[in-house]
Amino acid sequence: MDEWVVLLHVLTAFWFVAGLLGRNITMARARTASDIRTLDELVTLSGRFERMMVIPGSIAVTVLGLLAAWALGQPLAGANNWWLLTSLLLFVAIGLLVPVVFLPHGKVFEHALADAKAAGEVTPELRAALRDPAVRNARAAELLVVAAIVALMVTKPF
């Protein structure tokens, strides 16, 4: 039974990471769009990745990871097991980006997008919101931390 929980955890991690990549690739393309309708469609698609894969995937991967550790009898910390607690703390840390960066900057972006749609063109304010350095840096940190967590899960270095 424990190997099935681990398999579900791994499959959920693939789902979550695929959502992160899909969202980021879609938004990268949106940043280069010159037509407001195309840009709006790409932002909508990015939102689907977020709602259908990233948000539920982040919750599911955490719950299934904790269940997998419990099923395998692995404590969160201890001899040759600090990678598990480290991974959990890193995951919580990237979760803090949501209220600190993504939600407040997302409201600015949504307002700029609504104004641009009303104007029927990609406005300078929308371009600035699309290139927000705080969001760009937080997204990069998110990907780096997820990659580090995957490395910790596979190598179990400490």
Q: What is the pLDDT of residues 44-77, one digit of tens each?
A: 999 999 999 999 999 999 999 999 999 988 888 8
How many domains are there within the chain? 1
**3-class secondary-structure state, position 132:** coil
Share of the chain above pLDDT 70, in %: 100
Residue 76: what pLDDT?
A: 86
Cβ-count burial 58-83 (b if 16+ within 10 Å, e if not):
bebbbebbeebbebeeeeeeeeeeeb
pTM of the entire predicted model: 0.90
> What is the spatial distance between Cα 25 and Cα 67, in angstroms, rounded to a whole number?
31
pLDDT averages per 10-residue partition of the chain, 158 residues: 91 97 97 97 98 97 94 85 93 96 97 97 97 97 97 92
Cβ neighbours of residue 140 under 8 Å, at least 6 residues apart? Answer: none
Domain that holds residue 150: 2-155
Q: Which of 140, 9, 141, 149 is nearest to 88 (CA)?
A: 149
